[in-house]
A and B are shown apart, each in its own frame.
Chain A
Amino acid sequence: DTAVSQTPKYLVTQMGNDKSIKCEQNLGHDTMYWYKQDSKKFLKIMFSYNNKELIINETVPNRFSPKSPDKAHLNLHINSLELGDSAVYFCASSQDGATYEQYFGPGTRLTVT
């Protein structure tokens, strides 16, 4: 069974559209994250959720909104997509605490045209 899954794997859309990326983890972890990886492979943390509460918001535009219906899911909704949003988005999860590693999903490659 896949530990952290994301859908879709690829997403091609036009500027101005609204899209969502879904993430699910079956590890029973308390914390989930969204990361953005740009073309230079730089990883930037966007959000983390612990027990359905947002605990970090790394100054991302408010066009991005995380939605967590339950502990196992953290979806990312993006409004009014821009060219600069093109990137690979990774979902991850971990147990709560600094000593625990994160488990990453396979990524969603978003291309905005």
Chain B
Amino acid sequence: AQSVTQLDSHVSVSEGTPVLLRCNYSSSYSPSLFWYVQHPNKGLQLLLKYTSAATLVKGINGFEAEFKKSETSFHLTKPSAHMSDAAEYFCVVSDYARGYQKVTFGTGTKLQVIP
């Protein structure tokens, strides 16, 4: 079975402090994992992805995520939040089984950055 759980629906941080957005997944196969960002009234944009290479993945705008198979987690982090990081973030799991691709989106985490 495939699923993804974003543990926080809202996260609020002060500008300049670290960001942690949590994601746990379930997959019966070797999954690929993604983080997307959606700014207000915009489409989704890829931040980073894990595809069975290095477990620590670096993305755009200073974000990174670490794939931990033992914990079935793929948490997104950034050392220092910027006002422009305020957005909705989606964790996504994707695998390929029985001839077709299955993709599941998490329910999203809204990141608020306080000046």
Contacts and interface: CB of A to CB of B under 8 A. Distances in A.
Chain B contact-residue range equals 20 to 34
A42 B38 CA distance: 12
Interface stretch (A11-19, A64-72, A74-82, A96-104): A96-104
Contacts of B34: 101
Contact of A56 (B31, B49, B95, B100): B100
Interface stretch (B18-26, B39-47, B73-81): B39-47
Contacts, number: 55
Contacts of B88: 41
Given A45-B105, A56-B100, A106 B43 contact: yes
B95 A98 contact: yes
A56 B49 CA distance: 23
A4 B44 CA distance: 11
A96 B46 contact: no
Interface in B56-110: 88, 90, 94-96, 100-103, 105, 107-108, 110
Interface string A51-91: 00001100000000000000000000000000000000010
Contact of B46 (A31, A45, A101, A106): A101
A98 B90 contact: no
Contacts of B100: 55-56
Interface of B: 31-32, 34, 36, 38, 41-46, 49, 51-52, 88, 90, 94-96, 100-103, 105, 107-108, 110
